[in-house]
Amino acid sequence: MTVQFGQIVAARALLFVPGHRPDRFDKAVASGADGVILDLEDAVAPADKDAAREHVDEWLSRGGKALVRINGSDTPEFEADLAVVARRGCPVVLPKAEDPSVLAGIEAPLVPIIETAAGIEAATALCAVKNVARVAFGSVDLATQLGVRHDDEIALGYARSRLVLASTANGIAPPIDGVTTDLGDENVLEADIQHARRLGFGGKLCIHPKQVAAVRKGFAPTEAELAWARRVLEAGESVSAVDGQMVDRPVLERARRLLAQQ
């Protein structure tokens, strides 16, 4: 397996690389991202699909390690893409996930991208498929379908929370937030990270290597949070007070989770 199931579960920053740009594959791996997604879907024009698939197949055959975003199940490229990832033992990033039966038919670790209204409504069933490591949010595609701005936090708030709840209800890792398209303003990226983390997301999709470090840091516990967690655990198992706040079993559990994320 090129990328292990556990690596996907623990990932904070996943970096997209266009499948028709093999010159960028190794650079992406060296970026510090927790995982690289070789993209055969949206980043590749129809005329370049076959060449991109060949580039990905060749790079993986030489021991490259990555996830692969294949084309959707309703496209003519789906079967050929699936054959490559099956042959190379790659985790699959499936776009426009809506039908649990499609996911169940793929024998690989899965990261479905939920990016349509139908997908959001089916989120609980999608998260329940056994090979799903975690889900990702396709904010740009969903916003286009809904006719709203993709950076409108209010308009997409329900969809984001739905994915967090569906993931938690099925006992899988927190979802991965969608991309930040603004590459020129670091404050925009930071605001997106903080918003997603407040909602319960555990990571983010990146479209440029310069986003990786900020995303990895932004989804990690802060020093203040870790210090708080240590104080909570030092207070013992019984109900107590730390920093003027009551501490009981749920608070202890949150403290343990924060320390486990170091």
Contacts with 28 (C-beta within 8 Å, 6 or more apart), sequence order: 15, 17, 36, 209
- What is the C-alpha to C-alpha distance for residues 58 and 73, in angstroms, rounded to an integer? 23
Amino acid at 212: V
Binding-site annotation, residues for substrate: 69, 115
Per the annotation, binding residues for Mg(2+) are 115, 141
- Residue numbering of the annotated binding site: 69, 115, 141
What would the 3-class secondary structure string for the chain be?
A: CCCCHHHHHHCCEEEEEECCCHHHHHHHHCCCCCEEEEECCCCCCHHHHHHHHHHHHHHHHCCCCCEEECCCCCCCCHHHHHHHHHHHCCCEEECCCCCHHHHHCCCCCEEEEECCHHHHHCHHHHHCCCCECCCEECHHHHHHHHCCCCCCCCCCHHHHHHHHHHHHHCCCCCCEECCCCCCCCHHHHHHHHHHHHHHCCCEEEECCHHHHHHHHHHCCCCHHHHHHHHHHHHCCCCCEEECCEEECHHHHHHHHHHHHCC
